[in-house]
Amino acid sequence: MNTIEQEAPAGRRRRRRYSREFKAQVVAACQGPGVSIAAIALHHKLNANLLRRWVDQAEGNVPAPIVGGAVAVQPAAMPAFVPVPLETRNLRSTEIRIEVRRPDQSITVSWPTSEAAQCVAWLREWLA
């Protein structure tokens, strides 16, 4: 017997809204040691992913959504490359060595450290 069709209201489904008190009560039920969030969600007829988001928000791991239709601000993305200054006087070599190994071949590229910026540009282009 298919119960999903019988439970669905006629017309368009509306998004459920939950009070802060209800959310706090359900999140508090998840705080105990060894408690299954999925079991708590099932008991309260909630989606486990939704309850996990509520728990993360309560613990401060995820920013709470902005109410009123405003778009939530995404955290700034980390840069793909972060330059690190090095002291060159303690280095034994004056060159950058890059070695790429594959099962059937190996490639070694040597680059002078004085031209490190060009090496980075070449490496970015090569890896893209």
How many angstroms separate the CA atoms of 33 and 31, rounded?
7
Q: How far is CA 85 from the centre of its chain?
A: 29
Q: Note whether 44 and 24 are within 8 A (CB).
A: no
Query: Distance of CA 14 to CAs 6, 47, 91, 94, 110, Å?
Result: 16, 16, 66, 67, 63
Q: What is the DSSP letter of 92?
A: S
pLDDT category, 113, cuts 50, 70, 90?
Answer: confident
Report domain extents, the chain: 16-75, 88-127
The pLDDT assigned to 101 comes to: 85
Residue 49 confidence (pLDDT): 92
Output the CATH code of domain 16-75.
1.10.10
